Structure 1
Amino acid sequence: MIFCFSGTGNSRYIAKRIAEALEDDIIDLNARIKARDTSSIQTGQDVILVTPTYAWRIPRIVSAWIARTEWRDARRIWFVMDCGAEIGNAARYNREIAARKHLCDMGTAQVIMPENYIAMFRAPQAKEAREIVARAEPCIDEIVSHLKNGEAFSAPRNNLYDRLMSGPVNPIFYRVVVKAKAFRAGDSCTGCGQCVRRCPVNNIRLIDKKPVWEEKCTHCMACICYCPAKAIEYGKRSVGKPRYHFEALRYEK
């Protein structure tokens, strides 16, 4: 069984590629988390978790959901993490998750995909994004090969920088950076509610047909990147930057 959480579609695309190759099912964690659904799941022996990288680990809302949800019959787990640059030492913390679930950890694989974190960085234009995805395809194919053969992933890089970023920097990043107060909707907002529907943590409400952000934000960037009117900004940090979500690429392998 494949579990997938995705902010702007990169992880969803990778999960679909894996599901098609393995003829397996995908559980949409966005929907489960949004519905606060932690009911037990019959997974079968093998579990594949596909997520983006948030502050050099899997998203906290995903690890929290895993901790609260019973996986019946699960024996082995593979972690697949996409990122704009690097996953740091996420594999160490994934091993801890596997141990708490009494699962055999089959390793963590990294896939470089287009950047979406426009709260800090610049997302690529569509042409460059398609090129990045094309370069990721051999990596996804290699991941699929390991999964088909029931093989563990090769150990990812693990240097001092990786340990620093996934270790002490991760909680600092969440405490200092991951906040919703800088989000705002401009005059071009139509009140369509797309941001409300996309938010996996129910952090956005429409008041007088304008979105209002509360305090549970996970910085998935779904609200700002899927806004059809491009009406949402993250303070001054997102002004003038291209928005990115995978579906807009109309990418086909």
Structure 2
Amino acid sequence: MIIFFSGTGNSEYAAKKIGKEINDSVLDLFEKIRNSDYSAVASEKPWILVVPTYAWRIPHIIHDWLMKTELSGNRSIYFVMTCGGSIGNAGSYLKKLCRAKGLNYMGCAAITMPENYIALFTTPGKEEALKIIEQADNKISDVIRYINKNTSIPDAGITFKDKISSGPVNNIFYPLFVHSKKFYSTDACISCGKCERVCPLDNIRLQNGKPVWGKNCTHCMACISRCPKEAIEYGSHSKGMPRYTCSKVL
């Protein structure tokens, strides 16, 4: 079974492409995360987790869900992480997670997809994004071949920078940067409530027709990227920048 979490569609695209090619079921974790649903999930085939990279590791909310949820049936698990550039030393932390869960670690693949972290980086226009996705398709196909052969994905070379990025930097990044203080809506807001509906942590409420953010934010960028009127900004950094969601469909 393929299970995935996706804020702007990159990991969803990769998960569904893998599911289609290997003829396996695909489970979106959005509702489970939003509803704090930790009920057991079963699969007779190897597990394949597809998630975005947050500060060179899997998102904390996904790690917590995995630790609290029983994955019954098959004990092997592959990891696929979509990223803007690198997943650092994420594999080392995933191996620890697998040991804690009694799972057989089958490797972790990094799939470079269009940058979506508009809070800090530059997002691409549509044409540039499509070119990046086309290149990613080749890497996804490589992952599918490993899965079909039931062989492990080879470990990539890890540098000292990778270890620092996934270790101390990740630990510092979350408390310093992962918050909703800089999100706000502009006069372009039409009170449609989409930002409220797409938040996986149920962290947004409309008050007097305008979104108000709570403290429980994971920086998935779903609200700012999926707003139909581009009426949400993140400080001054996002102003004038393209909103990215994965537009390529299978």
Measure the CA separation in 2 of the matches of 1:123 and 1:170: 21
2:109 aligns to what SS in structure 1? Answer: strand
2:6 aligns to what SS in structure 1? Answer: coil
- Per the normalisation by structure 2, the TM-score is 0.98
Do 1:81 and 1:87's aligned partners in 2 also have CA atoms closer than 8 Å? yes
2:179 equivalent in structure 1: 179
2:178 aligns to what SS in structure 1? Answer: coil
Measure the CA separation in 2 of the matches of 1:211 and 1:229: 13
1:205 aligns to what SS in structure 2? Answer: strand
2:72 equivalent in structure 1: 72
1:227 equivalent in structure 2: 227
- Per the normalisation by structure 1, the TM-score is 0.97
Deviation beyond 4 Å, 4+ runs, structure 1:
none
1:163 aligns to what SS in structure 2? Answer: helix
- Equivalent AA in structure 2 for residue 146 of structure 1: Y
1:28 equivalent in structure 2: 28
Q: Post-superposition shift, 1:141?
A: 0.5
Do 1:195 and 1:226's aligned partners in 2 also have CA atoms closer than 8 Å? yes
Measure the CA separation in 1 of the matches of 2:22 and 2:49: 14
**Which stretches in structure 1 are left out of the alignment for 5+ residues?**
none
Alignment of 1:88-127 (within 5 A): 88-127=88-127
- Equivalent AA in structure 2 for residue 176 of structure 1: L
Measure the CA separation in 1 of the matches of 2:40 and 2:227: 33
- Equivalent AA in structure 2 for residue 50 of structure 1: V
Instruction: Name the stretch that deviates more: 66-75 or 112-121.
Output: 66-75
1:213 equivalent in structure 2: 213
Measure the CA separation in 2 of the matches of 1:191 and 1:156: 46
Do 1:89 and 1:157's aligned partners in 2 also have CA atoms closer than 8 Å? no
Measure the CA separation in 2 of the matches of 1:133 and 1:165: 25
Q: Post-superposition shift, 1:74?
A: 3.0
Measure the CA separation in 2 of the matches of 1:130 and 1:194: 25
1:153 equivalent in structure 2: 153
- Equivalent AA in structure 2 for residue 160 of structure 1: F
- Equivalent AA in structure 2 for residue 215 of structure 1: K
Measure the CA separation in 2 of the matches of 1:3 and 1:214: 27
1:119 aligns to what SS in structure 2? Answer: coil
Measure the CA separation in 2 of the matches of 1:156 and 1:50: 18
2:135 equivalent in structure 1: 135
Do 1:205 and 1:211's aligned partners in 2 also have CA atoms closer than 8 Å? yes
- Equivalent AA in structure 1 for residue 70 of structure 2: E
**1:191-220 alpha-carbon deviations (Å, 9 max, x no partner):** 111111100011111111111001110000
Q: Post-superposition shift, 1:187?
A: 0.5
Matched-pair identity in %: 45
Measure the CA separation in 2 of the matches of 1:93 and 1:109: 14
Measure the CA separation in 2 of the matches of 1:35 and 1:157: 38
- Equivalent AA in structure 2 for residue 116 of structure 1: N
Measure the CA separation in 1 of the matches of 2:113 and 2:157: 17
1:82 aligns to what SS in structure 2? Answer: strand
Instruction: Name the stretch that deviates more: 83-92 or 68-77.
Output: 68-77
1:201 aligns to what SS in structure 2? Answer: coil
2:27 aligns to what SS in structure 1? Answer: strand
Q: Post-superposition shift, 1:252?
A: 5.4
Measure the CA separation in 2 of the matches of 1:141 and 1:228: 32
Q: CA RMSD in A?
A: 0.9
Do 2:13 and 2:249's aligned partners in 1 also have CA atoms closer than 8 Å? no
- Equivalent AA in structure 1 for residue 136 of structure 2: A
1:135 aligns to what SS in structure 2? Answer: helix
1:19 equivalent in structure 2: 19
- Equivalent AA in structure 2 for residue 135 of structure 1: Q
1:166 equivalent in structure 2: 166
